[in-house]
Chain A
Amino acid sequence: MTDPGADWEAGNPERLYVITRGRSGLTERVVLDLVTLIVAKSRPQPAMQPEQAAILRICESPLSVAEVSAHLNLPMSVVTVLIADLLTEDRVEARAPVPKAELPDRALIEAVMNGLQKL
């Protein structure tokens, strides 16, 4: 375990640093959940960062942040920074998940139950 770099995936952290231009995501105002649905509001532009263009491309239909992360093969922490920028630029819309309530919402639970029963 002390052998430096034996299992360390060198390069990846640097690359991620470049993609997010050094920001960590923690300072972003927008709170993006794994299941916040992202929908593109504009088309990719040639001058855009390729990762951001890819997000606009795959989010023509709604996709959760987790799915964006999976399809682009980028960690959640990176994807949330990229999406936060797109939100600031008004290039995507975020459909926030239901806020956590003290008690589960009955109508919501009923809707999920009905949906599951149809499976």
Chain B
Amino acid sequence: MDFRSSEPGGASGSGGPAGTDLLPDTAATAVKVVIVGGFGVGKTTLVGAVSEIRPLTTEETMTRAGVEVDDVTGVERKTSTTVAMDFGRISISDELVLYLFGTPGQQRFWFLWNGLFEGALGAVVLVDTRRLEVSFDVIGRLEERGVPFVVAVNTFPESPSYPIEDLRAALDLPDEVPIVACDARSRAASRDVLLALMRYLYSLSS
């Protein structure tokens, strides 16, 4: 769901937000949280579960060279020159808006959107226990960049279930980094993931 997956927001050029999707004029400040995870792990599902707008897609053009060295053996085998990032929005108050961006775990995608992580409150690493190894790189890179994050384990029906502490050991996560289980399709569960991140950020600020 990461490559040109969703339909472009609005009809080409003639679109715009629906009347119900308008922010109040008082909206003064926006903050962002980045949802990072492998292909098909449920990033867009999580974003869609809590977003007040239908998830939108912003695209960026990737150089051809970048595509050729790419190892996107996944979901769709096309060498498109365009990479898409889905995002959603939650109005926190009349003045404050939270945006959620779902991005693939590969760092080369992060550079397509300047400042994706700069200024982000934090990140959620969405993990599928069937493909745990995908998360190692992501976690290492977030640590390098000093981006605070929580780990959310998307519970697919067919996923093996592990005790949280086993996952912590497998992912080599420090004790203080929260791990939460979630069903990314559930609005309440996805909201709770964001709340876990906020509580963690709050603890870091004290």
- Chain A residues within 8 Å of B, Cβ to Cβ: 1, 7-9, 12-13, 16, 31, 33-37, 39, 50-51, 54, 57-58, 61-64, 66-67, 69-73, 75-77, 95, 97-100, 103-106, 108-117, 119
List A contacts of B173 (CB < 8 A).
none
If A37-B97, A73-B8 touch, whether A7 touches B79 (CB-CB below 8 Å) is: yes
List A contacts of B61 (CB < 8 A).
12-13, 16, 75, 77
Contact in complex: B25, A39 (CB < 8 Å): yes
Contact in complex: B101, A71 (CB < 8 Å): no
Q: Roughly how many angstroms separate A34 CA and B148 CA in the complex, as a whole number?
A: 19
Q: Roughly how many angstroms separate A115 CA and B92 CA in the complex, as a whole number?
A: 4
Most buried by B among A1, A99, A116: A116
Contact in complex: B30, A70 (CB < 8 Å): no
Within 8 A of A (CB), among B5-47: 8-10, 12-13, 15-17, 22-25, 27-32
Contact in complex: B205, A116 (CB < 8 Å): no
Contact in complex: B10, A108 (CB < 8 Å): no
- What 1/0 mask marks residues of chain B from 80 to 119 whose CB sits below 8 Å from any chain A CB? 1110000101111100111101000000000001111011
Instruction: State whether the Cβ of B137 lies closer than 8 Å to any Cβ in chain A.
Output: no
Report B189 CB to chain A, min CB distance, Å.
Answer: 11
Candidates B27, B56, B81, B92; contact of A116 at CB < 8 Å:
B92
Closest to A35 in B: B30
Instruction: State whether the Cβ of B78 lies closer than 8 Å to any Cβ in chain A.
Output: yes
30 contacts between A and B (CB under 8 A): A1-B79, A34-B58, A34-B101, A35-B32, A35-B119, A50-B13, A54-B16, A57-B16, A58-B16, A64-B97, A64-B99, A66-B101, A70-B87, A73-B10, A75-B58, A95-B29, A99-B119, A104-B122, A104-B148, A104-B201, A104-B202, A106-B205, A109-B198, A109-B201, A112-B92, A112-B98, A116-B195, A116-B198, A119-B50, A119-B90
Report A29 CB to chain B, min CB distance, Å.
Answer: 14
Contact in complex: A7, B28 (CB < 8 Å): no
Q: Roughly how many angstroms separate A99 CA and B199 CA in the complex, as a whole number?
A: 20
Contact in complex: B101, A112 (CB < 8 Å): no
Size of B's binding interface in residues, CB under 8 A:
63
Taking A63-B23, A70-B8, A95-B28 as known contacts, 6 extra A-B pairs with beta carbons closer than 8 A to each other, sorted by chain A number, are: A7-B81, A62-B25, A76-B58, A97-B31, A100-B118, A116-B194
Contact in complex: A67, B96 (CB < 8 Å): no
Contact in complex: B202, A110 (CB < 8 Å): yes
Closest to A39 in B: B25
Contact in complex: A69, B58 (CB < 8 Å): yes
If A33-B115, A98-B119 touch, whether A109 touches B202 (CB-CB below 8 Å) is: yes
List B contacts of A50 (CB < 8 A).
13
List A contacts of B58 (CB < 8 A).
34, 66, 69-70, 75-76
Contact in complex: A73, B13 (CB < 8 Å): yes
Report A42 CB to chain B, min CB distance, Å.
Answer: 15
Q: Roughly how many angstroms separate A116 CA and B81 CA in the complex, as a whole number?
A: 36
